[in-house]
């Protein structure tokens, strides 16, 4: 904190640290000995130059727009590229269920995911189901793990 005051002899504006209050100093302009006044609340200025800038003193009046209807969508969501099985012309598609991808919060939901998908596609649209094995690095142990998967080729 600093104290700002004027020299009584030459009217030079001086700024000194608040710890020098009550001491006698020499004016750098007129070389007169003057005593530093005790700080008043209005004389104390913080060291933050941003607080005393014009931008800090500017009053801001923000207006938030209020609407009766929902606003128009500016960014459109992309259309779904993967079609639902059973919709449109029949094409061959492939779906792979990796066991490591079907573990959620410590629960093995592999059979549940595969069953849901098979029920959704329907038995008449399944071309082949092939069991696979693969290796990956386990995140927790940093070791190479062998795991299993299921490859389903179906018409959709």
Using a cut of 0.75, tell me whether the model's pTM lies above it. no
List alpha helices for 52-152, DSSP H: 54-57, 110-121
Q: Which has the closest alpha carbon to 117: 71, 152, 93, 149?
A: 152
User: Looking at residue 87, what is its pLDDT?
Assistant: 54
Mean pLDDT of 123-139: 92
Question: Of 51 and 142, which is predicted with more confidence?
Answer: 142
Say how far apart CA 2 and CA 19 lie, in whole Å: 8
- Percent of all residues in the chain with a pLDDT value above 70, rounded to a whole number: 86
Q: Which has the closest alpha carbon to 152: 128, 117, 134?
A: 128
Give tens-digit pLDDT for 26-60.
Answer: 888 888 888 888 876 554 555 677 777 777 777 77
User: Looking at residue 143, what is its pLDDT?
Assistant: 93
Mean pLDDT, all residues of the chain:
83
User: Looking at residue 80, what is its pLDDT?
Assistant: 66
Give tens-digit pLDDT for 16-29.
Answer: 888 888 888 888 88
Q: Go through the domains of the chain in sequence order and give each one's CATH number.
A: 2-53 (2.20.28), 92-155 (no CATH)
CB-based contact 109:97 (threshold 8 Å): no
Q: Given pLDDT bands bounded at 50, 70 and 90, which one contains residue 113?
A: very high
């Amino acid at each position: 904190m600093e104290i700002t005051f004027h020299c009584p002899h030459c009217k030079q504006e001086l700024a000194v640290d608040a710890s020098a209050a009550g001491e006698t100093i020499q004016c750098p302009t007129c070389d007169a000995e003057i005593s530093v006044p005790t700080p008043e609340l209005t004389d104390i200025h913080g060291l933050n130059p941003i607080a005393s800038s014009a931008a800090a003193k500017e009053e801001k009046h923000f207006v938030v727009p209020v609407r009766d209807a929902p606003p128009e969508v500016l960014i459109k969501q992309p259309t779904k590229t993967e079609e639902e099985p059973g919709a449109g012309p029949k094409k061959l598609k492939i779906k792979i269920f990796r066991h490591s991808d079907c573990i959620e919060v410590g629960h093995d939901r592999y059979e549940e995911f595969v069953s849901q998908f098979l029920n959704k596609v329907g038995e008449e649209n399944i071309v082949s189901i092939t069991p696979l094995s693969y290796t990956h690095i386990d995140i927790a142990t940093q070791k190479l793990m062998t795991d299993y998967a299921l490859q389903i080729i179906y018409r959709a």
